[in-house]
């Protein structure tokens, strides 16, 4: 980071913290130059950067002033639809949409699949290849029922950093998010229970709820 960028960041933080109020005149170029021990051109570059970021505005023969805060758009009123459990029966349309994934003329926005051709994935492929070469027998064998202990221990350490006190024995690894969600629902729900879901909801989740005999609201 250059000197003028560092100075601009410092001034921006002061504006955000309210040390310089909106509409207030900022220190002159010369005074900032003396205060921070930088050249006048450095201060001018910092002010120009803040002006480009629309945080300050220049006024001829008066200096720089903190830009007025833009009015935030009003928060739209919250809708309150009638709450009642529903059943989704239009699975033919869902299957049609799934088949459309293989149509090269359609851009698939329905999934979050990464582009596996990107070079950023090369480290992952490299580690997977190394793991297979050095642990071939372990790859082909079954692991513990709750999942590989070494991985559960690492996850427990990461959760501890986030403030969650768990041990490896408290964790269960699944093959994906839907398996985890299915196990969680099976542990607390009975067929016929009503589950609150967001709308729109992923069709796979609704299909899973239907298979478990659950209703959604």
Domain ranges, ordered by start, for the chain = 3-66
pLDDT for 66: 92
135 C-beta neighbours (distance < 10 Å), count: 11
Q: Is the pLDDT of residue 43 over 90?
A: yes
pLDDT for 135: 76
Model confidence at 115, in pLDDT bands (50, 70, 90)?
confident
The three-class DSSP label of residue 110 is: coil
High-pLDDT (> 90) share of the chain, %: 28
Q: What are the φ/ψ torsions at residue 208 (nearest 5 degrees)?
A: -65, -45
- Pairing label, strands 215-216, 194-195: parallel
Q: Is the whole model's pTM more than 0.75, yes or no?
A: no
Q: Which sign, positive or negative, has the C-alpha torsion 125, 127, 129, 135? A: negative
- Alpha-carbon distance 160 to 30, whole Å? 50
- Alpha-carbon distance 38 to 19, whole Å? 21
CATH placement of domain 3-66:
1.10.10.10
Q: Is the pLDDT of residue 123 over 90?
A: no
pLDDT in tens, 84-114: 765 656 667 777 777 777 777 877 676 666 6
The answer to whether 186 and 208 have CB atoms below 8 angstroms apart is no
- Alpha-carbon distance 192 to 123, whole Å? 46
Name residues whose C-beta falls within 8 Å of residue 153's C-beta, 6 or more positions apart in sequence: 168
Model confidence at 39, in pLDDT bands (50, 70, 90)?
very high
- Alpha-carbon distance 5 to 160, whole Å? 36
- Alpha-carbon distance 201 to 37, whole Å? 57
Model confidence at 72, in pLDDT bands (50, 70, 90)?
low
Q: Is the pLDDT of residue 128 over 80?
A: yes
- The residue written with tokens 């459990």 in the block is 85
pLDDT for 189: 93
Model confidence at 49, in pLDDT bands (50, 70, 90)?
very high
Candidates 10, 9, 5; CA nearest to 42 is 5
Q: Residue by residue, what is the 3-state secondary structure of 32-88?
A: HHHHHCCCHHHHHHHHHHHHHCCCEEEECCCEEEECCCCCCCCCCCCCCCCCCCECC
pLDDT for 207: 83
Distance between the two ends of the chain, CA-based, in angstroms?
51
């Amino acid at each position: 980071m250059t000197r003028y960028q560092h100075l601009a960041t410092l001034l921006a933080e002061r504006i955000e913290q309210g040390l310089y109020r909106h509409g207030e005149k900022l220190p002159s170029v010369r005074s900032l130059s003396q205060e921070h021990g930088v050249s006048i051109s450095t201060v001018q570059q910092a002010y120009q950067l803040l002006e480009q970021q629309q945080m300050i505005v220049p006024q001829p023969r008066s200096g720089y002033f903190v830009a007025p805060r833009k009015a935030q758009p009003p928060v739209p009123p919250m809708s309150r639809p009638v709450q009642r459990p529903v059943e989704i029966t239009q699975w033919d349309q869902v299957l049609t949409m799934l088949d459309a994934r293989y149509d090269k003329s359609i851009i698939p926005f329905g999934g979050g699949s990464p582009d596996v051709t990107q070079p950023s994935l090369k480290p992952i492929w490299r580690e997977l290849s190394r793991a297979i070469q050095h642990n071939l027998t372990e790859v082909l064998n079954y692991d513990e029922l709750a999942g590989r202990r070494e991985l559960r221990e690492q996850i427990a350490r990461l959760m501890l950093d986030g403030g969650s006190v768990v041990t490896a024995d408290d964790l269960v690894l699944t093959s994906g998010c839907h398996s985890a969600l299915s196990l969680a629902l099976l542990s607390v729900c009975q067929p016929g229970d009503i589950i609150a879901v967001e709308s729109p909801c992923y069709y796979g989740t609704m299909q899973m709820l239907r298979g478990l005999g659950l209703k959604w609201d």
